[in-house]
Structures are given as C-alpha cells and as structure tokens.
Amino acid sequence: MTTRKDLLRGARIDPMPVTGRESVADLVDNAFLAYNAGRLAEGCRLFAERMLADNVTVGMSLTGAMTPAGLGMSTIIPLIEAGFVDWIVSTGANMYHDAHFGLGLAMHRGTPFADDVELREEGIVRIYDIFFEYEVLLSTDAYIRQVSAGPEFQRPMSTAEYHYL
C-alpha cells in the first residue's frame, strides 16, 4: 500500500521570484516546476542530457494533426536542417496535410467550439481548431493524382517508396 510519505516524496515546490537576471537554464531548473512548465523542464533536461550527447541518433514520431497546425514548416523542417533529427516516422495524414502548405493552400485558425453543422453548410473542413475550405482537399487530391500519373509511379511500390519519390 502506498503511504502518505511515499505520495509526498517529491521535491518541495518553493521557487524564488523571477528577477529578470536568470539564465534560461535557471528558469527551467528553478521556476518551471509543475503543470505544463514542469513537462517543458523535463523536455529540456531530456534534450540537454540525452539528445545532445555524442553519437546519439534522434528519431521523431509524428502523430496527430501536426502539419495542419503549421508545425512542419515552423519546427520540424528547421530541426531537420539543423541536424537535430536523424529520421522521422509519420502518419500519412501528416504527409497529406503538409502538402496543403507546399501548394500554397490556406489553413486558418478556428475554434474547437464551432458548430459542425454550420461548418458543413459553409463548406469548411475542421481539424479540431484548424479550419479550411473543402476546396483545399480537392486541390490537394488533384495534385496527388497528377503526380501519381507520372511514369515512375506506374508499378507496385511500398508507401515508403511512394513518399520518397
């Protein structure tokens, strides 16, 4: 049975006030103690202690609607270009929705509280709090059909090879 002492064995939360003279490391170590700030601090420690070590291979798994939110261009590509990511595994949906940006198709911030019936009546597609016109899907599909009609795609291949081409 878990005891009260076991449950309260974590470090006491007793931060010093932020003065503005702290380094980023000081803020992470001494002010980011719980909730999402605590998870951010855990991520920073993992990055500093494990990912920056010599001879480390870093893989990234992409699930959920990351690319429709713009994370492909804003964070994933810069991480790859800077040498922080060695390989990626992604859902096909992330790869598909990333094509919208490559084709210059508009994605918009929305709200998770919108009325789905109203969105449908207006021809708006929603991915949680991301909105875009139904035409975005049709245009992306048309582009993929056009590319897939190329001679290099006219043979059996794995999805990995298809996406590589």
Determine how β-strand 130-133 pairs with β-strand 124-127: antiparallel
Backbone φ, ψ for residue 134 (5° rounding):
-55, -30
DSSP class of residue 16 equals P
* H-only helix segments in the chain: 4-7, 24-30, 35-46, 71, 77-81, 92-102, 116-121, 134-148, 159-164
How does pLDDT run across 73-103, given as a tens digit for each residue?
A: 899 999 999 998 999 999 889 999 999 999 9
66 contacts 92 by C-beta, under 8 angstroms: no
pLDDT (average), residues 9-30 = 91
pLDDT at 160 over 90: no
